[in-house]
């Protein structure tokens, strides 16, 4: 999930995308460089970037007033669940109150009746799940500062929809991955590490809860669902998921299988290791530092409503997703082992 909020301004023959970019002392646009007109010189084409921050309401008002967008996709967040326990106040400020700042900026600019607003909600709202699978009517029970902040964001979106008749929707997206996933998220950590091991650049890596189960889909499928939500006549909230559940352990096994290695598990709990059946080398360890203070053990989404109302269903399978991520990281590490 990128740290950029996207604003689109659409005309009959032109689509312009405006992004809000946090200032950094180093380049932080690596995952969107292919969208530049000239990636070497960072020359902008139909994508325009504006310096701003979800903690700065003044800049949000200025940007929205200048661009006067027709669609706003709020994808900006401190989105790492484990890190949210260490940065709880910041997470609340960006993920929770930041959403309010955006909505209020739309209202301040007098665009309540012309802008369609998408909020990147999350399956972490369900946390300690109250029913399986989870759908739009399932009660929320967040289990992290991230989930709690996103819960505020969810309800403030609903409130602006009901109070001001704004076209504002929540997309409750379950885990969505791709080769552009951030390096410290578990799926990308696995694909990067497996690639390095395959190329002889690494021997082993550590993970937390191997038995945590998630509903993983491909980001490109989910972005299509986001867009579809804003093309409807009436604003509604939707769960977006594959309906399939896989464990972290299974993701590891599939990733290693892609490079011709079979992982067998030995030991229990913190002493458990993943050993290569072919070579006997231990490639996976368990480290308690990656455990969450309150764990979310099982997430499985029911996107029946999205299928019925939007005609949406996922196209990329779990196996195809793992294959794409591992293959991409093998190519990346061949070019730059320090990537």
Query: Which two three-digit tokens encode residue 170?
Result: 């929540």
Distance CA 177, CA 187 (A): 7
Any idea what DSSP says for residue 14? -
Determine contact, residues 85/293, Cβ cutoff 8 Å: yes
Distance CA 64, CA 261 (A): 51
The beta strand positions in 210-333, using DSSP E, are 213-214, 217-218, 238-240, 246-247, 263-266, 273-276, 282-286
122 tagged catalytic: yes
Residue 292 backbone dihedrals phi, psi, to 5 degrees: -85, 145
Q: Which of 8, 99, 112, 124 is catalytic?
A: 124
Distance CA 143, CA 272 (A): 25
Q: Which of 73, 126, 146, 222 is catalytic?
A: 146
Distance CA 106, CA 224 (A): 24
The 8 Å CB, 24+ separation contacts for 23-27 are: 23/51, 23/53
Q: Which of 122, 138, 187, 242 is catalytic?
A: 122
Query: Which two three-digit tokens encode residue 335?
Result: 């070019």
Find, among 76, 46, 45, the residue nearest to 60 by Cα.
76
Distance CA 173, CA 276 (A): 34
Determine contact, residues 291/297, Cβ cutoff 8 Å: no
Taking residue 116's Cβ as centre, other Cβ atoms within 10 Å add up to 19
Taking residue 91's Cβ as centre, other Cβ atoms within 10 Å add up to 26
Residues marked as catalytic: 122, 124, 146
């Amino acid at each position: 999930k990128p740290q950029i909020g996207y604003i689109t301004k659409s005309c009959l023959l032109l689509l312009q995308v405006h992004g809000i970019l946090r200032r950094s002392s180093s380049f932080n646009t690596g995952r969107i460089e292919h969208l530049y007109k000239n990636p070497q010189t960072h020359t902008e084409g139909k994508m325009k970037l504006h310096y701003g921050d979800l903690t700065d309401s003044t800049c949000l008002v200025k940007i929205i007033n200048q661009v006067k967008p027709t669609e706003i996709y709020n994808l900006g967040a401190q989105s790492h669940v484990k890190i949210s326990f260490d940065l709880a106040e910041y997470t609340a400020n960006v993920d929770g109150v930041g959403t309010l700042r955006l909505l209020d900026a739309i209202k301040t600019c007098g665009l309540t009746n012309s802008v369609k607003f998408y909020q990147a909600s999350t399956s972490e709202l369900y946390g300690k799940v109250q029913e399986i699978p989870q759908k739009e009517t399932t009660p929320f029970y967040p289990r992290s500062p991230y989930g709690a902040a996103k819960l505020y964001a969810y309800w403030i979106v609903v409130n602006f929809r009901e109070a001001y008749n704004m076209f504002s929707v929540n997309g409750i997206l379950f885990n969505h991955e791709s080769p552009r996933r951030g390096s410290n998220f578990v799926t990308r950590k696995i694909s990067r590490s497996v690639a390095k091991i395959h190329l002889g650049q690494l021997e082993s890596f550590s993970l937390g809860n191997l038995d945590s189960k998630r509903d993983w889909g491909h980001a490109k499928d989910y972005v299509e669902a986001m867009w579809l939500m804003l093309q409807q006549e009436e604003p509604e909230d939707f769960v977006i998921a594959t309906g399939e559940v896989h464990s972290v352990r299974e993701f590891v096994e599939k990733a290693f299988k892609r490079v011709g290695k079979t992982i067998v598990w030995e030991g229990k709990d913190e002493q458990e290791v993943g050993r290569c059946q072919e070579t006997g080398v231990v490639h996976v360890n368990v480290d308690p530092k990656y455990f969450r203070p309150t764990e979310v053990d099982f997430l499985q989404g029911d996107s029946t409503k999205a299928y019925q109302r939007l005609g949406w269903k996922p196209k990329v399978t779990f196996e195809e997703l793992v294959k794409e991520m591992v293959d991409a990281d093998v190519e990346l590490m061949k070019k730059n082992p320090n990537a």
